[in-house]
Structure 1
Amino acid sequence: MVDKIMLTDPIADMFTCLRNANLRQKRAVSFPYSRFKLDICKKLEENNYLTEHWADENKRVIKVKIKYFNKDSLLHEVKRVSKPSQQIYLSLSQVKKKCLGRRTYLISTSQGLLTHHEALAKKIGGELIGFIS
């Protein structure tokens, strides 16, 4: 008898799928569907980490293709910051101070999921979901 695995943090599991696919140099990966994960994939594609993404709503999965340049993935590091047990919220001034470097930070705001650049432009803070570099 096979037990169903209970996912405690679906976003962290999605990031792990992306990280593992990248380490194995796979071009495509799929994971369970959710609207929030689809929004994250859209932001990753807009920031040139993925070449494309699509949702198969019948099978309830999201499929993505990781972007490569000269056999190297543009996706180097994927990390979940805010967790269900400890959510990390940043004000606008904290976004300015903490979201530095070449990383793309994903922030869930009252205006939807934004990168840290978009949050700074709109002058809002929110929950720090994670970062990609």
Structure 2
Amino acid sequence: MKDSISDLFTRIRNACLVRHNSVDVPYTKINIQIIKLLLRQGFIDNFQNNTKARSHQKSFKDGRARTPQRGQAHSPKRALTPQKQHKQGTAYLGGGCSWITLSLKYKKDHPLITQIGRLSRPGCRVYVHCEQIPQICGQLGIILMSTSRGIVSDREARQFGIGGELLGFIS
């Protein structure tokens, strides 16, 4: 995973489309900041940190576990080494990956998050001054911005009088 923000947005979008009550996302510092902003703005109910261990073992059809024999390929879903997890931005906690479980909000069986997308990408960053911050869906949506005060919404950035990188939008 190269872009954890796009991955977060895609997981949330897909969970809302199939009407899931919760969704698991990888733990990164930037994901935590975005999730706290979503909680402040009322787009999600709550979130919880979880640690899920991933196994190196393959299993038989009857559920018994077996270890790959010498010369056999490991499963593509094997646990990452601490170095690879560090490069990918996930926390390493004793052989497992740390995950965040988000509880999504619904109103009359319709998700509160109808659109979520990335504006600035790793290959093409988008920066704006405080007077140039766009609005999404009038007052219904928010724009996530990375500023010198952390990740804030477009309204907070206008209030502080600061610009920054446009990370994404939610409505």
TM-score by length of 2: 0.70
What does residue 135 of structure 2 align with?
99
Question: Is it true that 1:83 corresponds to 2:77 in the alignment?
Answer: no
Question: Is it true that 1:56 corresponds to 2:50 in the alignment?
Answer: yes
What's the RMSD between the two structures over aligned residues? 1.1
Q: Which has the larger Rg?
A: 2
Name the amino acid aligned to 1:114.
V
What does residue 13 of structure 1 align with?
7
Cα shift at 1:56: 2.6
Post-superposition CA distance 1:40-87 (Å, at most 9, x none): 011111111100012236441111010011111101000000000011
Post-superposition CA distance 1:70-121 (Å, at most 9, x none): 11110100000000001100101111xx224121100000010100010011
Question: Is it true that 1:41 corresponds to 2:35 in the alignment?
Answer: yes
What does residue 65 of structure 2 align with?
none
Where 2:24 maps in the other structure, the secondary structure is: strand
Given that 1:14 and 1:31 are in contact with CA atoms closer than 8 Å, whether structure 2 keeps it comes out as yes
Counterparts of 2:30 and 2:105 in 1: how far apart (Å)? 21
Percent identity, please. 33
Counterparts of 1:71 and 1:32 in 2: how far apart (Å)? 26
Number of aligned residues: 125
What does residue 154 of structure 2 align with?
116
Question: Is it true that 1:70 corresponds to 2:70 in the alignment?
Answer: no
Post-superposition CA distance 1:13-58 (Å, at most 9, x none): 1100000000000010001110110110111111111000122364
Which protein has the bigger helix share? 1
Where 1:12 maps in the other structure, the secondary structure is: helix
Given that 1:91 and 1:126 are in contact with CA atoms closer than 8 Å, whether structure 2 keeps it comes out as yes
Given that 1:66 and 1:73 are in contact with CA atoms closer than 8 Å, whether structure 2 keeps it comes out as yes
What does residue 4 of structure 1 align with?
none
TM-score by length of 1: 0.90
